[in-house]
Each structure stands twice: as structure tokens, then as C-alpha cells.
Structure 1
């Protein structure tokens, strides 16, 4: 993984999560802003999949468990899809809060992926 890209993912996921949670608790239903922020998180995760495939070939192999890393990454890629689907099916303020929780969960998962990639010794 690339540290600056991980930090970018963290900043975007935390911002999207806080935005959605605050708007949801304020009573706002899912909108283009909240769904779009989660789509941006998803696009960054798809870019992370590409980076995770190319990085070992470029001389940046993971030091931790590769299986654990990929389980985190695949799960993280699926979460925004599920969150947006939920928000579009049940258009309530709580759907917006759920999208925020999804984005904040992804931030935690991305940081854990960075730890697996760089710190642990297999």
C-alpha cells in the first residue's frame, strides 16, 4: 500500500462518514451529496484494489497476512454498495446515518489494511 493514498482514503472516508452522520441526525434523507460521497469512497477502494495487485509486482510486498489483507479489502469494497442500496430502498434519515457508519467503518478497515501491509511480520 502507498502511505499517501491510505491517508487520502482515510480523510475522504472520515469526511464522508461525518457528513452523512451529521446530516442523518439532522433529519435529512439520502441525497446526491451523501450518496456521492460514498461513491467517492468506493472509487478510492477500487483504486486500492488495483494498487494492491500492482504493488507486489513493483517491489512493495506485504509483510503481514495476504489473506487477511484481501478479506479486509474485499469486505471494504462491498460495504459502500450495501450502504447505498439500503439508502435507496429505505429512504429515511436513518439510512443516511447508516451510510455514515459505513464510511467510518471503511476508514477503520483501510487503516487496518495499512498496518497489515507494512507493520506485521508474516
Structure 2
């Protein structure tokens, strides 16, 4: 795991969450403006999967449980897919809020992944 990349992931997810939650509470249905950040969060998680495969091979070992880390990463990668699918099927203001909650959950999960990789077990 790369610390600055995790910071970028968290920042993008939080901005996407705030945008979607505010727009959803204002009554906006899912649109490109709310789905775009969700897609970006998913793309960043896919890059994180690649980084997480390569990092231990080049000597960047996690300090915590690798199994726990991967469970968080796979779960976080599935959340935007599920939230985006739901938002496309049920096009209501609450779907936009759900997109925001998904982005916020991903931000929290990435933060926890950084703890597992860098802090836990020290």
C-alpha cells in the first residue's frame, strides 16, 4: 500500500460523498455529476488492488493481518458497484444519498486499510 495514494482515495471518496449527500438531500436524482465520483472511487480501488498485489512482492509488507486487509479491499471494491447499480435501477433522490453513503463507507474502509498496512502490529 502506498500512503499518499490511500490519502488520494480517501479525499476523492469524501468529496464524492459530500457532493452526493448534499445533492440527494436537495432532491436531485442520480446523474453524471453523482455517478462520476463513484466511478472514480471504483477505479482508484481497482488500482489499489494492483498495488496490493505488487507491494508485498517488492518488500512493502503489511504490519497487520493480510487476510483482514484483503477482506476490506474486496468489500470496498464491491460497494461502489452495488451502489451504482442500485442508483441506476431506482432513480430517486434517495439513490443519490445512497451513493454518498457508499463513498463515505469506502473512505472509512480505506482509512482502516491504511491502519492494517502501516500501524497495526507495531
Normalising by structure 1, report the TM-score.
Answer: 0.98
Q: Whole-Å Cα distance in 2 between the matches of residues 41 and 114 of structure 1?
A: 16
1:70 aligns with 2:54: no
Q: State the alpha-carbon separation in 1 of the partners of residues 4 and 37 from structure 2.
A: 20
Runs of 4+ in structure 1 deviating by more than 6 angstroms, as ranges, are none
TM-aligned CA deviation for residue 107 of structure 1: 0.2
TM alignment of 1:89-108, pairs within 5 A:
89-108=89-108
TM-score, normalised with respect to structure 2: 0.98
Per-residue deviation, 1:121: 1.5
What are the Cα deviations for residues 36-65 of structure 1, in whole angstroms up to 9, with x where unaligned? 110000000000000000000111000100
In the alignment, is residue 36 of structure 1 matched against residue 71 of structure 2? no
Q: How many residue pairs align between the two structures? A: 122
Partner of residue 11, structure 1: 11
Provide the aligned C-alpha RMSD in A. 0.8
Residue deviations 1:75-110, cap 9 Å, x none?
000000000000001000000000000000000000
Match of 1:56 in 2: 56
Q: 1:81 matched to which residue of 2?
A: 81
Please state how far the C-alpha of 1:120 moved relative to its aligned partner. 1.1
Residue 113 of structure 1: CA displacement?
0.2
| Structure 1 residue 17 displacement after superposition | 0.4
Secondary structure at the counterpart of residue 62 of structure 1: coil
SS in 2 for 1:19: helix
Q: Which residue of 2 aligns with 1:121?
A: 121
